[in-house]
Amino acid sequence: MSAPGNERTGSERMGRERMGSREGGVSFRARLAARGIDGTTLLVLPGLLLMLLLFIYPFAYGIADSLSPAEGPWYANYAKFFGDPFQSRTIAATLWLALPVTLVNLALAVPIAFRVRLMKRQRLLTTILVLPITLGTVFVADGLLTFLGPRGWFNHTLIGLGILDSPVKLTNNYWGVFASLLITGFPFSFLLVLSYVTGIDPAIEHAAATLGAGPRRRFWHIFLPLLVPGLAVTFCLAFVQAYAVFPSAVLLGAPSGPTRVISIAAYQAAFEQSDHAYGTAIAIIMGGVELVIVAGVLALRSLFYSGPVAGTKG
């Protein structure tokens, strides 16, 4: 199209296409196909449409909305958030929950996945471990409220065993939310990590063993470097999930105190103060924080090997 005198009208082009190679050149369709565009490309459309409708449009609308405050200049909502410590410290409060929970989840998922990969009845155990995912956060939060409460089984058992003198407070504070996030987030991290761990060719581990590496050195020298990219992705997904905590922070936490997470701030702005634009601004800030963490982790990941882990070229 760039060569001078080569511009054609649509009808001319269609005519040429119909003529095909008879004209001497390669048909329009063939040229498109060579660039990877053919009938199959149309299958992208439904997904693309969905992305536009459910993600791109709301996101763009949200940004526009957050920049149209009820009063003040265009950045007033953001200035209001960062100017009010009660609001801005929700960023740190949420990070203080989401980061440790994500790290603990990964730290639990890796060894368990390593054990499960060697087991014959993988499916049964996987099903049990994944069950919490199906329960929903509210259900888990409700259960934990009873279980971890002052008269719940947890405290009952520890007092009965003589380990505790008086019940330890595990609900309506940080630890309640922490436990709930751990339970609902673990299956997710575990499944992802398991798939990464089992994706590594067992012969690679065998090779390391025959070369004199014991289990510990096999983990540090072989498995961990190969798992880093997968663990980074798992971290990002688990973190984003944890950072968006809402129901359990309200039900199990202290929603006006230490577990006043950023989504509570957004909710209150939008639905209690009916300041929709301000609520949206807080949601955008929340997304921004997630983006910074995810980008940071992925940047770190690029320092490691991230090619295939199968061992063969096939």
Partner 1 sequence: MPATTTPDRGRERLELRDLRRSFGSFNALDGIDLTIEPGEFIALLGPSGCGKSTALNCIAGLLALTGGEIRLGGARIDQLEPERRGFGMVFQSYALFPHMNVRKNVGFGLAMQGIRGAEANRRIQDALGLVRLESQAEKLPGQLSGGQQQRVAIARAVVIRPPVVLMDEPLSNLDAKLRLEMRADIRGIHDQIGSTTIYVTHDQDEALSMADRIVVMSEGRIEQIGTPQELYQRPDNLTVADFMGFRTRIPGRVVSVAGSEAELDIEGGRVRATVRGAIRPGDAATLSVRPEDLVATPGEGIPATVESMEYRGRAWFGLASAPDGTRLYFRSGEALPRGAATTLTPTPGSALVFGEARA
In the complex, the residues that contact partner 1 under the rule CB under 8 A are 201, 203-204, 206-214, 217, 221-222, 225-226, 304-305, 307-313
Nearest to 169 by CA among 149, 142, 154, 152: 149
Q: Looking at 67-84, list the stretches that DSSP marks H as alpha helix, in order from N- to C-terminal side.
A: 76-83
Distance CA 79, CA 87 (A): 11
Closest to partner 1 by CB, 15 vs 308, is 308
Residues contacting residue 34 through CB under 8 Å, at least 6 positions apart: 26
Closest to partner 1 by CB, 211 vs 295, is 211
Smallest separation, CB 222 to partner 1 (Å): 6
Smallest separation, CB 105 to partner 1 (Å): 25
Closest to partner 1 by CB, 35 vs 121, is 121
Smallest separation, CB 311 to partner 1 (Å): 5
Smallest separation, CB 234 to partner 1 (Å): 18
Smallest separation, CB 300 to partner 1 (Å): 15
Residues counted in the chain: 314
Closest to partner 1 by CB, 130 vs 228, is 228
HEC sequence for 190-254: HHHHHHHHHCCCHHHHHHHHHCCCCHHHHHHHHHHHHHHHHHHHHHHHHHHHHHCCCHHHHHCCC
Smallest separation, CB 110 to partner 1 (Å): 17
Distance CA 141, CA 175 (A): 12
For 16, other C-beta atoms within 10 Å of its C-beta total 15
Residues contacting residue 111 through CB under 8 Å, at least 6 positions apart: none
Smallest separation, CB 301 to partner 1 (Å): 13
Q: Are 247 and 263 in contact (CB under 8 A)?
A: no
Closest to partner 1 by CB, 14 vs 211, is 211
3-state secondary structure at position 28:
helix
Closest to partner 1 by CB, 251 vs 309, is 309
CA atoms within 13 A on the CB side of 92: 8
Radius of gyration of the chain (CA): 27
Closest to partner 1 by CB, 132 vs 229, is 229
Closest to partner 1 by CB, 142 vs 201, is 201
Smallest separation, CB 298 to partner 1 (Å): 18
3-state secondary structure at position 283:
helix
Distance CA 88, CA 81 (A): 6
